[in-house]
Amino acid sequence: MLENDTEHAARRTDVIGADGVRLAAWEYGRGGGPESLAPAGGGPQGAGAAEPGVLLLHGLMGRASHWAGTARWLAERHRVVAFDQRGHGDSERPADGLLTREAYVADAEAVVEALGLGPVTLVGHAMGALTAWQLAARRPDLVRALVIFDMRASALGAASQRRWEDWFRTWPVPFPSLGEARRWFAEEDPWLAGGRASARGDFHAEMLARREDGWRPVFSRRQMLRTRETWVLDAHWDELAQVGCPTLVVRGMDGELGRAEAMEMVRVLPRGEYAEIPDAGHLVHYADPDAWRTATEPFLNGVLTG
């Protein structure tokens, strides 16, 4: 399947991932228009394959469109692809038993190889960052460099999983309108503890689709819990230590990755670097794209042009 997304100057192409799961991927064009899109990837010999490739990996419940701002500036000079991971966005929702860490990593590997992106620079947010470093550890030949954003290497524990289960129960699904959904996630969500975050409302609204009875998530919340269960009880330091490529660990000061753990991750990585974004949280790449670009562009320019 091949189609254009003129809003984000991106062309969609479907890739078959692990277990035959269909994955929706988008390649972003240069210059902001669909006429600038590179031809469809066809493996290492395809058009554009000599350009440095970048693969953007969203986090749990996310989707490729959350990277649109990052993709636009990267695509000015580089070949950029983002895809909806299995069970997310427009990609296929597989059986519960196919939501393993191995499957998520194999999917990313399949996208890199099918579109001829390797050796690729991986940019991952949260769960996507874990997928990225697990792929870099497994297939160093495919990965040029890595950006890890707001993902911990330590086990989060069973209490963290229970908190997510409780949170999902608070969602007033279906939402009567997209505006009501934005308002709930930006103002009324109990996780905000009385705070307000307008960008958070927009971020979550992109995860919803209109159904007969209202607006519902494009994913199964049960499957999101099953997916999360595959990593929260385990630490991932050993795999991190196997990542030999240049790696930037990024944290927002108000995000989920603490400074002490981030610095330990940099120490464990053979070629680790560190960047911190002041006054930023878990969604800074979406909520404050200028701050995100300032923190990551020097590293990305170095690895993509070096």
Interval 151-197: pLDDT, tens? 999 999 999 999 999 999 999 999 999 999 999 999 999 999 888 99
156 CB neighbour count, 10 Å cutoff: 17
Cβ distance 80 to 112 under 8 Å? no
pLDDT average, residue stretch 8-31: 88
Cβ distance 71 to 82 under 8 Å? yes
Measured CA to CA, the distance from residue 270 to residue 247 in angstroms comes to 9
Interval 250-292: pLDDT, tens? 999 999 999 999 999 999 999 999 999 999 999 999 999 999 9
pLDDT for residue 34: 35
Q: Which residues pair with 145 in a beta bridge?
A: 121
Is residue 217 very low, low, confident or very high in pLDDT (cuts 50, 70, 90)? very high
Quote the Cα angle for 219-186-256, to 5°: 75
Is the model's pLDDT at 33 over the cut of 50?
no
Interval 57-112: pLDDT, tens? 999 999 999 999 999 999 999 999 999 999 999 999 999 999 999 999 999 999 99
Is the model's pLDDT at 212 over the cut of 90?
yes
Burial class of residue 171 (count of CB atoms within 10 Å of its CB; 0-12, 13-18, 19+): middle
Place of tokens 């990225």: 132
pLDDT for residue 39: 40
Task: Fill in the amino acid letter for 156.
Answer: L
Interacting residues of 301 by C-beta distance below 8 A, sequence separation 6+:
none
Quote the Cα angle for 110-112-116, to 5°: 120
Residue 206 is encoded by which pair of tokens?
A: 């992109």
Measured CA to CA, the distance from residue 118 to residue 121 in angstroms comes to 8
Measured CA to CA, the distance from residue 69 to residue 48 in angstroms comes to 21
Residue among 175, 200, 14 at smallest CA distance from 90: 14
